[in-house]
Amino acid sequence: MGKLIFLGFENLKLFNYSSCSTCRRAIKWLKNNDITFELIDLLKSPPSKEMLISASELYGDRKYLINTSGFIYRSIGSDAVKKMSDNEFFEQLFIEPRLIKRPFLYKSNKCFLVGFKEEKWAEKLL
């Protein structure tokens, strides 16, 4: 995976799910580090399919975008998700944004952070 470089933070968009404790930790971390961002409700305004596809390409595999610990994923089943075409997969993420691993941080089509690992965020954002 290529190194992500963030130049300036004026366009950071954090897609968040309010009941997600990982999202709350990421928000707290961003605020504690004086990083400005736009907070977006994942359920009301999910990332576009184009954003999701770009993130998947950057990470090298679509599997990094999926929230495998959520109820929705478990109800669909990992086998069904693996068998989806790319088009079906990204359409499903857009239709059911709770399937998206969160938080989902967007800067540009070449700059994403998916999930929250403090050390990785510090490496990319500080």
Whole-prediction pTM? 0.81
pLDDT tens across 77-87, in order?
Answer: 888 989 999 99
SS3 84: coil
Strand order in the sheet with 104-108: 38-41, 13-16, 104-108, 111-114
CATH topology of domain 13-125: Glutaredoxin (3.40.30)
Residue pLDDT, tens place only, 86-126:
999 999 998 899 999 999 998 866 778 999 999 989 988 88
Range with top average pLDDT, 3-7, 54-58, 105-109: 54-58
Domain boundaries, the chain: 13-125
**53 vs 122: CA distance, rounded Å:** 24
74 in Cβ contact with 66 (< 8 Å): no
52 touches 93 (CB < 8 A): yes
Q: What are the distances in angstroms from CA 93 to CA 43, 96, 107?
A: 11, 5, 19
CA gap 39, 62 in Å, rounded: 24
